[in-house]
Every structure is written in structure tokens, then in C-alpha cells.
Structure 1
Amino acid sequence: MQKITTTIQKIKALKKRKNSKSILLGLAITLFGYNAANAQLTASGQFRPRTEFRDGYSTLQSKDAETAVFTSQRTRLNVGFTGYRFKFFVAVQDVRVWGQDASTINRTTIAENNGIQLHEAWGEIMLNDTVSSIQNLSLKIGRQEISYDDQKVIGALDWLQQARYHDAIVLKYFNKGWTADFGAAFNQNKELLAGTIYNGVPAATSGYTAGTNGLGTNYKSLEYAYIAKKFFFGDISFLFLSDNFNKYTNVTAGTPAVTTKVNEQGIWTRNTTGFYYNVNATRKLKFEGSLYHQFGHDKNGRSLSSNLASITSTLQVGRKLFVGPGVDYLSGNDGTKAVTATSENNQFDPLYGTPHKFWGTMDYFYASSGFGAQGLLNYFLKAKYNLKDNLTLFADIHCFESANSLSNGAGGKQTSYLGTELDLKMSYNMTKMINIEAGYSVMQATNSMASAQVKNVTNANLTPQWAYVMVNIKPNFLNKK
């Protein structure tokens, strides 16, 4: 306000000299200064290299398989701008493995793997003005991350270097502790002159799938409603989501016979609905959990009926230690019965969530090549210890069991217990912008885990290991401090 007053005084002084050009210039400076004061520009970045040691990560390997060691890197630039009744944001990222690109010396002979990707690009329009009694009513349009609650079924999957996004439009409402979001998306491979056929296979970038999930087939369209309320004792939310997949038929022709997937008009709809809760039972005891049901049809057109139930407890012991047991149940198909194109699918799919956070950091379940057809029982105990203000230690132990019977391939059953996994992690904040993280995981798998029905690995290494070291630098370019 003082700057505006000073500028007005200068304009009055210019008026006395009757210099019209100077007056117009002064008015322009005043208006620009006022708009700049009411707008906000943000510019930040992220540099995140991660070196991994893999000896059975994600899927069991044979005993004679060699260990994998590599470094992947995410480099991200974020620019945002907030103006009167609108927001604008763009995040451009480059994801690649060290050494995968051709150097400047031999680039003419070796094709370069381009890992640059537009991770986010959205605009948000405020539908309520500054005098509205509603705290927020807005429309967010474009490529964006969508995350809710504990990210068990909808999350940004930040652990994955390329992370996850959706090309969507979301109507967002918030007022007096109530949140209500309504979102929709419609995907196509390219511009078409007729029809809406979608093969569900997005373009790959640098060997990393550019889609929004690990299904192998991306959704053609998506609609959801999310409603949440904050109470004095915690949070409760409700979700209803429909994701739709393009119908197809398998056509077999030729000699020898070759089966080809042919897409056609129409969709198969999968519906997921349920509740999430986060309740503070006492000052030091918290319960968190969810209950979801899926119905409709899966991406292959099979009738679907499946469930997820989860509960986690967290008890604060002293000032620095947090511990708590929990259990997850995800339904699956009976492993002793044959699965046909007409049989009902009872396997729960955790949609677009963050499996790495819940079902072991070695990502055996519901991640890239994870088990899940027969469902999963995950009994776990988690512990977190704040050794210092900037140093935190984590230790989780998981006991994995199939939620249904497993066949031994000879008309009988085999044990449903799959294995025990220990996950250790250290997180050190060197500064507010620099974090160093390291972890080690080991699993003691059973023969059932390696069996043909689950992983189909002969001469399997039943004690897989995985370790990583990651540096995360997140600069704020406009922060003078």
C-alpha cells in the first residue's frame, strides 16, 4: 500500500508538468505493481538419483541369475503461477538410467533414448470469488497427480521414478471440513476422424511405461466421486470410481494359427466403492483402515466381484518411537479351480494406488510383476524411531499368505504361506532441501512362492535381497534464503 501511495504521489507530480506520456507510464507501473503483489510465481525443482542393488527384486530369480546394479535418475522442473481466480502449473521431468543414452561422440550411430516427459500441466479456475462463503470451489483441468487418503487405491506413486499422472478434469469443493471432488477422464491414442477405439497402450518413454497404472492396459475413460469429512476424532471418506476399458475380441487365423487382439466399439466397466478412516482413539493411539468392493467387469470382460479390507494401528511409545501391527486382506481366485473366460473374477485390483508403501518395498505384490491372482493376506508390524530431529529409522516385517488355496499341480493343495519380508530404511535430512535415504530388504520365500501357480521359477533363489541409496534435492529457486 505504501508503494502504491508513493507512485500516486509521483503521478500527481507528473500531472503538474502536464506530461501525458509520463502519466500513462506511471499508471501502468502502478497497475503492474498491484497485480504482481496479488499474484504469486513459484519455481522449484527435483534431482533424485537412486542406485539399486537387485538380487531378486520384484520377482524371484533362479539361483544362477546375476545380480543387477544400476542408477536411475529423475530430474524435474516445476513452475507455477497463482493469479486472480486461477492457478497454473507445469512439471517437466526427465527419467533415465545412467548410461542408457548415446554420448555426443557416437550419437549418430546409436539412437538416443529420450526420457523427457510432461509430468503435469494443468490450470485451475476458481469458481467462487473472494466474497463467497464457500472456502473453495474450483475446476482443475489437465495432466495432474490425483491422490487421496493413504494412497492405497489412488496415489501419485512417487516412489516410481516416472511417478503417475492422469489427464483429467476435477471439480473440487472444500468448505467447513467437507471435501467433495468429482473427476473424469477420457483417453485416446490419437486424433480420429471416426470412432473412439482405444488400444489402451500409451507410448513408452525411455523404457518406462508412460501409462497411469501397472495393468498393461490403460483405461479408456474414468469417472469418480470422492467425499470426505474432518471430525474432531479424525477423518472419514467415501469413494466411488468407475474405470472403463475398450472391448476387444481375439481373432485366430493363419497357419500356424496366430491369435490377434482386435479392439471394437464399447467398454467394459469396473466399479470400485468403499470407505477410508483415520481415527485417533487416544492421544497416542491411532487406527487407519479401509474397506472396498469391486464389481462390474474387468479389463478382459470377465464378471468381477472382489474385496479389500485393511486396518493399521500406530502407538506412540515415549517421544521418539512409533509401533503398530496391522493386516491387509485382498480377495483372489481359488487356485484349485480352473479359470475360464466366463468364470467370475474375484481378484481385487488396488487400482492406481501405491503398492510400494503397503505390501513390502521389494514390490512383489500388485506392482510390476507381482503376485495377486489368488489374493493376499499381509500381516505386518511397523516401527519408526526418530533418532534425531533430522534422522529417522524404519523397520517393517511382513508375513505374506495367499488368501485362497493353491494347487500343487497334482490335484492336491500346497501351503498358502508365501514368505516373510524384512524392510529397513534410513532417512536423513541434511538440510531442508537435501534428503538422503537408504534401505535394505530381504525375503525368506517358500516353495509356494516359486511354484508354477504363483511365480513359476525353477531352481529359485528363495532368499532374495534388495538395497538402494537415494539422494533427493528439491531446490526452491525463488527462495532467497
Structure 2
Amino acid sequence: MSTLTNLLLKNQSQKKEGFFNSKLSKTIVLGVAITCLGKFEAKAQFTLTGQIRERVEMRAGQGTLQQDGDKAALFTSQRTRLSAGYTGYRFKIYTSLQDVRVWGQDASTINRTTTEANNGILLHEAWAEISLIDTLSTIQNLSIKAGRQEIAYDDQKVLGSLDWLQQGRRHDAIVFKYANKGWIADVGAAFNQNKELNTGTIYNGTNSAYGAGTNGIGTMYKSFQYAYIGKKFFFGDLSFLFFKDDFNKYTNVTSGTPAVTTKVNGEGVWSRNTTGIYYNVNATRKLNFMGSFYHQGGHDKDGRSLSANMASITSTYQVGRKLFIGPGVDYLSGDDGTKAVTATSDNNRFDPLYGTPHKFWGSMDYFYAANGFGKQGLLNYFFKIKYNAKDNLSFNLDIHGFESANKISNGAGGKLNSYLGTEVDLTVRYNLTKIINFEAGYSIMKATNAMASTAVKNIANADLTPQFAYVMLNIKPNFLAKK
């Protein structure tokens, strides 16, 4: 009897234990599922940000000299951006819708006349990035990024977002990206067309309303290919860039009476190659050196053989906790201004590609910006001072001495003094909050007659003391941030 009872009790115990084991197993499985789902949801992240940037500018010779007696210009421009991004498993997408306009350029009610020439609404960025590795990979990043995007590297001297310009700069491109253990390697390409075509690949690069001009050359590239390799070391950063941009070939055709010469695009491209290195080295805890060297070869947008160079070095020394000072120099080669330029002569003028001229060659944008300044190249001697008065308040003072890198013709067989002018730029930045920022700047230049000459700015009876001032409000909210 006791044996039978023991067997029954043992059987019931096993059933009960099995019941609890089964329940525990289900609970564990459910918990793991919830955890995995939670991790997946954590990886899927949506962002929504905006920007309102309003800038009031007073221009009395900004960009180019004005004539004596000309009145100063005053206007307000505004950039409005709405940007959305989503990060999911092995992909990212991002879009940025932008509107840029000057206050008052549109009628307030009817007869709205905004055109492409007046900036207006633009899709600034729209790209997708796909990861080629899973989350278990030991490689930090291996991905493909395709679509409209900003392309910026290092100090943005030759490739940058040009954020000072309200429109900014973007490219329609595809980029293969690699990053691991301090190494970065990107390979990118672009191929532009004006519209859908059934035959041929002829591209009219002068009709692109936004960002067409490369530092004033007035022609958009037809295509580009580039490779960038960078490495972070304990003492700083080193990088290498190879960039080839291609321009549609053309011929000049003369016809009619009176004779009229027109530019006719054809098949094929002229290719420009830019190769160079960048460095950012901490010599000591308080002393930093940053610079670059680039060489350009191949052919320019007009088919002329190209051989040009750029070299730059900037030093920064920290004096105490708040003060930073340092001299520097930029050299960009140019043509001999006393010699005639023909279709067969070499081009020695370095073009800093798709960089950020406003950041390096003076706030008044006399050099390598929208307005040309001749073909003699540039020497820029500068001394910079930065003082951080508080965590949210800083002052910058930049002093530039500008000189032609080559001879300047006086138009009568002789040459002019190569010194172009001295510019002083003062900038004040104040962060009211992490979202709201104020900035104000004032610039003045003492220009020379060489700057006003036919070979450089070509302004008769010029005011040789141009000035520029601005006040800017920048608000960048994150609409999904927790309060």
C-alpha cells in the first residue's frame, strides 16, 4: 500500500514540477522576446529638427569694391529648414527641406514671383545609408550612402558644406564609407544630367540654379570621383584626398551678321585632378599646427592644361584658460598677370574646389567666393585671436594681409604692386540657450589701387575702405527632445 502511495505521490510531484518548469520556460521565452523587441525598438529612432536663421546684413563693398558715392545696401535673409531622420536595423534615412529668401522679395498677397534665381524652396538633403555589416561585426562601419548630401572633410578648405551661405552646399552622389580603429576611408562618385534623356549624355552645367558655381567658375561639374583616407593618431589627425571632377566639353561656334559666338556642348569631358594631404597635429598640450598641401593637374573647365598648388599652415597657442592666438599663411598659385592667356596656355590658378572660402579668406568674401578677383592667385597672411569670456560668450578677431601670388598687369605693359589690402574681422557669438544663438560681425578693409585695378576687381573710382556688418539669429530646435 505504501509503495503504491509513494508511486502516486512521485508521479503527482513530477507533474507539478513539469507544470512549473513549463511555466518558467514560457516566462523566460516571453521575457527574452520582450527584451529583443525592446532592443529593436531602441535601435529604430526617429528625429525631427528645425532651423530658423535670420541674418541682417549691411554691405558697403562686401564681395567687391564699390564706387565712391554708392550707398550701402541693407537687407535681411532667412533660412528655414525642417529635417527628419529615421534609423532602423541596418539603415538610415534623412531629409532636409529648406527655404531661403530675402524679406520682401515676394508679394504679401497675390502675384507671387519667386523664381529659382530668388532661391526659394529646395530639398537640401535627401539620402539613405545602408549598413553592409550586422550588429555583431567588429568593424565600426561599412555602409553605402546615396542621395543628396553634404560632403565635408577635415577643415573644409576644399570640400565643405559652406554653411555661411544661406543656401549651403550639397551634392547628388553615392559614397561607400568605412570606419574602424581610428581609420576612415570613403570612396564617392556623382554623375549629373539636366533631365531624362533618350540619347547621349551632354550636360549643360551652367543652368543649375543652386550651387552651380565652384568658387565663381560658373560651371557645374558633370561628374566626380574621389577617395578619402584619414587616420586619428595620439598626436592628431592625418588624411589624404584624391578628387577628380569632370566638365562637359564644348566648342565656340561663330555665326550670323554681326558675328555672334555661342558655346555648344558636345560629348566628352575635361577632367581636373586634385591630390593632397591634411594634418592637424598637437605639438604640445597648448600648441597646435594645422595645414594642408594640394596639387591640381589635368585640365580646367575650358580644356586648358592645369598645374597649380595650394599650401597652408595655421598655428594656435593657448594662453591661459580663455585666450587662443596664432599666425598662419595660405598660398594659392596663379597665372602671371603680365602674360596673355590663350586657349593653349597652361592654367596655374588653383581652385579650392567645393570648400568654404568665407571661413579662411576673410569675412568680406573678396577671394574664391561668388565674385572673381583675377587669376594671379593669393597669399593670405593672418593672425587670429579667440577669447572665451564665458562658456556661452566668445570673441574672435582675425587680421588678414592679402597679396597677389603672382604679377599683376597695369594694362600698359608694366606691373602693379602685388599687395591687395588689409582686412580686420571681428565676430561675437552668444548662446542664450543650447537652441538659441546670436552672432554679430563687423569687417573693414583697407584696399589698394591694385585691388581696384582692371586685372583684379575692375572698379573705377573705387572706395578703397569697404565695410561689412551683420547680426544673425540662429534657432535650432529638436522637436522630439524630452523637456
Q: TM-score, normalised by structure 2?
A: 0.91
Q: Displacement of 1:216 after TM fit?
A: 1.1
In structure 2, C-alpha distance between the alignment counterparts of 1:179 and 1:110, rounded to whole Å: 47
- 2:167 aligned with 1:162: yes
In 1, are the aligned partners of 2:213 and 2:370 still within 8 Å (CA)? no
Match of 1:211 in 2: 212
Match of 1:5 in 2: none
2:260 to 240, 255, 258: 258
Match of 2:362 in 1: 360
Q: Displacement of 1:33 after TM fit?
A: 5.8
In 1, are the aligned partners of 2:287 and 2:318 still within 8 Å (CA)? yes
In structure 1, C-alpha distance between the alignment counterparts of 2:89 and 2:77, rounded to whole Å: 40
In structure 1, C-alpha distance between the alignment counterparts of 2:212 and 2:416, rounded to whole Å: 36
2:238 to 236, 239, 244: 236
Deviations 1:24-72 (A, max 9, x none): xxxx999976643331111101000000000000001101222110000
Q: Displacement of 1:210 after TM fit?
A: 4.0
- 2:479 aligned with 1:480: no
Match of 1:16 in 2: none
Give the counterpart letter for 1:213 in structure 2. T
Match of 1:313 in 2: 315
Match of 2:81 in 1: 76
SS at match of 1:303: coil
Match of 2:189 in 1: 184
Q: Displacement of 1:187 after TM fit?
A: 0.2
Tell me: CA distance 1:296–1:310, structure 2 relative to 1, closer, same or farther (3 Å): same
In 2, are the aligned partners of 1:100 and 1:113 still within 8 Å (CA)? no
In structure 2, C-alpha distance between the alignment counterparts of 1:110 and 1:44, rounded to whole Å: 28
Give the counterpart letter for 2:464 in structure 1. L
In 2, are the aligned partners of 1:48 and 1:73 still within 8 Å (CA)? yes
In structure 1, C-alpha distance between the alignment counterparts of 2:364 and 2:169, rounded to whole Å: 19
Match of 1:432 in 2: 434
1:49 to 30, 54, 61: 54
Map 1:139-154 onto structure 2 (within 5 A).
139-154=144-159
In structure 2, runs of 5+ residues without a counterpart are: 1-22
In 2, are the aligned partners of 1:164 and 1:212 still within 8 Å (CA)? no
In structure 2, C-alpha distance between the alignment counterparts of 1:235 and 1:133, rounded to whole Å: 23
SS at match of 2:205: coil
Q: Displacement of 1:130 after TM fit?
A: 1.1
Give the counterpart letter for 1:198 in structure 2. Y
In 2, are the aligned partners of 1:165 and 1:212 still within 8 Å (CA)? no
- 2:129 aligned with 1:124: yes
In 2, are the aligned partners of 1:273 and 1:293 still within 8 Å (CA)? yes
2:176 to 158, 165, 171: 171
Q: Displacement of 1:476 after TM fit?
A: 0.4
Q: Size of the alignment, in residue pairs?
A: 453
SS at match of 1:147: coil
Map 1:245-394 onto structure 2 (within 5 A).
245-394=247-396
Give the counterpart letter for 2:357 in structure 1. P
Deviations 1:343-393 (A, max 9, x none): 000000000000000000100000010325100000000000001110000
In 1, are the aligned partners of 2:374 and 2:455 still within 8 Å (CA)? no
In structure 2, C-alpha distance between the alignment counterparts of 1:156 and 1:81, rounded to whole Å: 22
Deviations 1:86-125 (A, max 9, x none): 0010000000000001212xx1x45234711000000000
Give the counterpart letter for 1:100 in structure 2. Q
Q: Displacement of 1:409 after TM fit?
A: 1.4
Give the counterpart letter for 1:415 in structure 2. N
Structure possessing the higher radius of gyration over alpha carbons:
2
Q: TM-score, normalised by structure 1?
A: 0.91
Give the counterpart letter for 1:148 in structure 2. Y
Give the counterpart letter for 1:236 in structure 2. L
SS at match of 1:201: helix
In 1, are the aligned partners of 2:57 and 2:471 still within 8 Å (CA)? yes
Give the counterpart letter for 1:323 in structure 2. I
In structure 1, C-alpha distance between the alignment counterparts of 2:171 and 2:390, rounded to whole Å: 38
Q: Displacement of 1:132 after TM fit?
A: 1.2
Give the counterpart letter for 1:320 in structure 2. K
Match of 1:17 in 2: none
Deviations 1:390-445 (A, max 9, x none): 00000000000000011111211110000000000000000000000000000000
Match of 2:454 in 1: 452
In structure 2, C-alpha distance between the alignment counterparts of 1:203 and 1:136, rounded to whole Å: 34
In structure 1, C-alpha distance between the alignment counterparts of 2:416 and 2:399, rounded to whole Å: 24
In structure 2, C-alpha distance between the alignment counterparts of 1:212 and 1:368, rounded to whole Å: 7
Match of 2:6 in 1: none
In structure 2, C-alpha distance between the alignment counterparts of 1:63 and 1:338, rounded to whole Å: 31
RMSD: 1.9
Tell me: CA distance 1:387–1:370, structure 2 relative to 1, closer, same or farther (3 Å): farther
In structure 1, runs of 5+ residues without a counterpart are: 1-8, 14-22
Deviations 1:200-227 (A, max 9, x none): 02442xxxx3437333100000000000
In 2, are the aligned partners of 1:380 and 1:399 still within 8 Å (CA)? yes
In 2, are the aligned partners of 1:363 and 1:370 still within 8 Å (CA)? no
How much identity, in percent, do the aligned residues show?
A: 71
In 1, are the aligned partners of 2:213 and 2:219 still within 8 Å (CA)? no
In 2, are the aligned partners of 1:375 and 1:404 still within 8 Å (CA)? yes
Match of 1:19 in 2: none
In structure 2, C-alpha distance between the alignment counterparts of 1:211 and 1:122, rounded to whole Å: 20
